[in-house]
């Protein structure tokens, strides 16, 4: 039996997944939550913050497209590119699509929404006066939405006699949870999903077997067909190659059958590239390569895999059934003079 039946996901979790609700991490959580009947607890200030972040990202995306059009006006000839990107109706449409993705994600789960009737304002003001988590100094003095969410969660857990798993990348959430035995902190969503599996001792044994055979997963990652692009539009990447990978951690998130398990992983990908300076001249837009540079970069990525273990003996990986990463396109940020 899992240690929690109700889950709270902080906005930082969705930020970390770039609001890609079909990512391996979020999809695995939805599957486990559905199988086990776990509830998502959603305080109103958190949902407001999620929706606000989605709207902000939609606006940023539109600005980026407008900037692309400004730097390369010939894109207007491309049939897939709209050149009226500042139109308010189009921004509303992009935001509507993004918010629809959020609604679809929440719609897959059993949800309990919490309102402000559960807030203990004197308790929150005590946190504020003492600069206790989630409050702090500087910008942290303004953490009222997080304080409201924590107070709502603690009140609901107490009234229902339950424990709520709190997943957040914010260390202040961890510190705040230490004040309530009913709030169980998890540092990542894969760790929570792993804890939801019904047989923790078997999961630990399977995880140990996979970790001991990790080079098979790293070999697959090394051969993965990544694509790369440079952060500065004035330069062009050529001759890109992955030089080294390292899987830093895995989490077992689902059982396909007795021998096949789904896992998520965090990894670093080191790559080497030849970079050319690129200039454009009117009216022909002819390219001129002035100089060649070599750059090395390291990126953090996440992904998932299904692995088949040795039948009847969880001593290692027999086969990798499927393998994918959440970020197949990697943005190279290392400057050419590094």
Express each pLDDT in 123-181 by its tens digit: 777 766 676 666 655 555 457 778 888 889 988 988 998 889 899 988 888 888 877 87
Q: Tell me, yes or no, whether 183 and 94 share the same domain.
A: yes
Q: Tell me, yes or no, whether 179 and 281 share the same domain.
A: no
70 found inside a domain? yes
pLDDT at 75 over 80: no
97 versus 280: which is more confidently predicted? 97
> Model confidence at 116, in pLDDT bands (50, 70, 90)?
confident
182 found inside a domain? yes
Q: Tell me, yes or no, whether 151 and 289 share the same domain.
A: no
Q: Tell me, yes or no, whether 19 and 156 share the same domain.
A: yes
Nearest to 238 by CA among 276, 195, 295, 267: 276
Rounded mean pLDDT, 37-65:
87
Predicted TM-score of the model (pTM)? 0.62
Total number of domains constituting the chain:
2
Indicate the residue among 168, 194, 220 that finishes a domain.
Answer: 194
Gap between the Cα atoms of 157 and 45, Å rounded: 17
Domain range for 242 = 199-332
338 found inside a domain? no
Give 72's contacts (C-beta < 8 A, 6+ positions apart).
Answer: none
337 found inside a domain? no
Q: Tell me, yes or no, whether 142 and 210 share the same domain.
A: no
What are the pLDDT digits (tens) for 288-307? 546 778 889 999 988 888 89
Beginning with the edge strand found earlier in the chain, give each strand of the sheet holding 235-255 in spatial order.
235-255, 260-281, 286-309, 317-325
Residue 336 has a pLDDT of 74
Residue 280 has a pLDDT of 54
Q: Tell me, yes or no, whether 43 and 180 share the same domain.
A: yes
Indicate the residue among 194, 217, 250 that finishes a domain.
Answer: 194
Q: Tell me, yes or no, whether 77 and 122 share the same domain.
A: yes
Give 171's contacts (C-beta < 8 A, 6+ positions apart).
Answer: none
Residue 141 has a pLDDT of 47
> Model confidence at 8, in pLDDT bands (50, 70, 90)?
very high
287 found inside a domain? yes
Beta bridge partners of 228: 330
Q: Tell me, yes or no, whether 204 and 309 share the same domain.
A: yes
Residue 230 has a pLDDT of 83
CATH value at residue 190: 3.40.50
Contact predicate 302/201, CB 8 Å: no
């Amino acid at each position: 039996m899992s240690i929690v039946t109700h889950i709270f996901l902080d906005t930082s979790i969705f930020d970390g997944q770039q609001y890609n609700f079909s990512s391996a991490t979020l999809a695995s959580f939805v599957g486990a939550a559905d199988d086990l009947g776990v509830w998502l607890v959603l305080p109103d200030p958190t949902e407001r913050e999620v929706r606000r972040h989605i709207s902000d990202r939609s606006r940023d995306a539109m600005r980026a497209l407008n900037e692309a059009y400004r730097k390369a006006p010939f894109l207007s000839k491309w049939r897939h590119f709209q050149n009226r990107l500042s139109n308010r109706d189009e921004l509303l449409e992009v935001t509507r699509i993004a918010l629809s993705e959020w609604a679809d994600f929440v719609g897959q789960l059993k949800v309990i929404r919490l309102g402000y009737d559960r807030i203990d304002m004197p308790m929150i003001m005590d946190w504020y006066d003492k600069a206790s988590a989630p409050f702090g100094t500087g910008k942290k003095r303004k953490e009222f939405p997080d304080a409201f969410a924590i107070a709502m969660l603690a009140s609901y857990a107490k009234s229902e006699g339950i424990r709520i798993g709190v997943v957040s990348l914010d260390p202040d959430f961890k510190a705040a949870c230490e004040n309530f035995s009913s709030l169980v902190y998890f540092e990542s969503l894969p760790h929570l999903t792993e804890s939801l599996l019904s047989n923790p001792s078997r999961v630990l044994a399977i995880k140990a077997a996979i970790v001991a055979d990790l080079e098979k997963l790293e070999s697959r990652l090394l051969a993965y067909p990544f694509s790369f692009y440079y952060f500065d539009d004035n330069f062009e990447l050529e001759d890109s190659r992955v030089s080294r990978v390292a899987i830093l951690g895995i989490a077992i998130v689902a059982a396909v059958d007795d021998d096949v398990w789904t896992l998520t992983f965090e990894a670093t990908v080191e790559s080497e590239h030849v970079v050319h300076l690129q200039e454009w001249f009117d009216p022909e837009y002819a390219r001129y390569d002035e100089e060649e540079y070599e750059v090395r970069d390291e990126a953090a990525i996440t992904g998932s895999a299904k692995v088949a273990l040795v039948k009847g003996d969880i001593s290692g990986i027999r086969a990798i059934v499927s393998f994918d990463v959440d970020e197949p396109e990697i943005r190279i940020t290392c400057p050419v003079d590094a």
